[in-house]
A and B are shown apart, each in its own frame.
Chain A
Amino acid sequence: MLVVRIWNYIRGYVIIKVEGINLERFINLAIAKGIYFWDIERINYTTIRAGVGLGGYKQLRKIRKKVNCRVSILEKRGCPFLLHRVFKRKALLAGGITAVLIMYFLTSFVWVVEVEGTEKVSEERIIRELESFGLKPGAFKYFLDTGEMETKLLIEMDQLVWAGINIMGTRAVVDVVERTDPPALIDKDVPCNIVAKKDGIINNIFVYQGQAEVKEGSTVKAGQLLINGVVEEPGGSARIVHAMGRVEARTWYQMSEEQDLRPETREPTGRNSRRVSVRLGKYTINLTRKKPDFEHFDSTVNINRLVEWRNISLPVELIIENCYEVNVIEDILTEETAVRLAADRIRERLAGVLSEDAQVVDEKVKYYPADNSRIRVEVVFEALEDIGMEERIELNTGRIEVE
């Protein structure tokens, strides 16, 4: 019934008052003609009130003569009347249209510039640069060449490696990625110490400048002082130098990996099928009936949303699932091969961690079953590497006499 009500509202209807003696006859004649009445209400002995559609109201004229009664309109309701009233008020209409136009006009400008992804570079600096290219609050967004601005921004600012400008409505969102600089080397004439960057046992220590604080064979912890930049002179005074040297130490790395003893390889056969479904709020409707008749398959799921605006999205999604048939090939590995595979992977990982000048002198492989089908491999590496790291000496300690 609600649908009928809404339809009537769109078409427009009137509430009428019928006055006469034989109103039942009036109603009977009207429905015989196919006029639809609703909410008929008796007001008093000679009067009824009813709702009738616009088309029906026009047809009532003939019946009115036959039955001899008076029909008058009490209320006019629905869209046609509403529109009529609105169109009669020219100023209101003009105001409405102007408001929409102004809204549209105002949304053609960039009002906010936001910068995301900055850590070291100041946002103001980027905003200032962009301003000089023309991207600032008040800029007409259809004239902005964001691609060119991105390039210009990267040229102007060395600290950035990537920039992306997205205009979302009236906001311009600038995403940047900063360059990560390698740690700066300390200048040759700036006093510094050499400290350990990781735990280890000293194998060799060559001091070019400074005073050795550890001996060969001693165990050091990360951060421990290795070569002191403060050199004590005989006679009690001290000299501060830029410590230099090579501290070679034995270091240990422990890494582990798990390896399936019966790994599966999935080989696509080339056959695939597609499943389409629509999600409405909590409900999912499958448009494609059949499930893929593959024994094994991999699938990718694409979710398409209708529109997305700010944070508001309609709860309607089109889900397309592509299923690719695969042949599953099970491989049975011997313990030996499994260990070798895992150890190879561990060595690869180690290579990523180890510094370039380090050399692996020893490795110990241990393995034990993780569960029924898996094996856990642990490798302990012993490496020889320079563990020295320069650390600036702060001169304001007051403890040191400077020549």
Chain B
Amino acid sequence: METKTDLIKKGIADLLELPRDIVLDLPKITLVGSLQIYIENHRGIIEYSTGIVKINTKAGILVVTGTNLTIRTIVVEEIIIVGHIDRVEFLQ
């Protein structure tokens, strides 16, 4: 999935020690225990139910599974999901 431009960007990021999430436009994901997940820089929501949330990102589809999941906040740049989170994984 990595294109040539991505490789160049990655090289520059390494060279200049820039944060990769900014240069490569990758999502930044923060977990607070198993209570809350905070996803910056997403590309929209694919599926949402109390047991599973699928979020489209540049790095692939992020799948959050758990129980009682609710979307606390959703705006263009960020999503906050709260509930009991069991698993976070990427689907390529």
Contact = CB atoms under 8 A, between A and B. Distances in A.
Q: Decide whether A and B are members of one complex.
A: yes
Given A31-B75, A31-B76, A32-B76, A39 B70 contact: yes
A199 to B, nearest CB: 85
A41 interface: yes
Contacts of A50: 71
Contacts of A36: 73-75
Nearest to A28: B44
Given A32-B76, A42-B50, A37 B71 contact: yes
Interface string B59-92: 0000000000111111110000000000000000
A253 to B, nearest CB: 81
Interface in A44-74: 45, 48, 50
A311 B45 CA distance: 57
B46 interface: yes
Interface in B43-60: 44-50
A358 interface: no
Contact of A40 (B44, B46, B47, B71): B71
Contacts, number: 49
B75 A41 contact: no
B74 A42 contact: no
Sorting the interface of chain B by its residue count into under 10, 10 to 19, 20 to 34 or 35 or more gives 10 to 19
B77 to A, nearest CB: 9
B46 A27 contact: no
Residues of A in contact with B, size category = 10 to 19
B72 A39 contact: yes
A40 B70 contact: yes
Q: Taking chain A's interface residues, is the majority helix, strand, or loop, or is none over half, making it mixed?
A: mixed
Nearest to B82: A39
A40 B75 contact: no
A45 B52 CA distance: 12
A216 interface: no
Interface string B1-24: 000000000000000000000000
A41 B70 CA distance: 5
B65 to A, nearest CB: 14
A24 B46 contact: yes
Interface in A1-54: 1, 23-24, 27-28, 31-32, 34, 36-42, 45, 48, 50
B48 A38 contact: no
Nearest to A23: B48
A235 to B, nearest CB: 114
Contact of A27 (B45, B49, B69, B72): B45
A1 B82 CA distance: 14
B76 A40 contact: no
B51 to A, nearest CB: 9
A39 B71 contact: yes
Contacts of B46: 24
A32 B76 CA distance: 6
Contacts of A34: 76
Contact of B49 (A28, A38, A42): A42
A24 B79 CA distance: 13
10 contacts: A23-B48, A24-B44, A24-B45, A28-B44, A31-B44, A34-B76, A36-B74, A37-B71, A38-B73, A50-B71
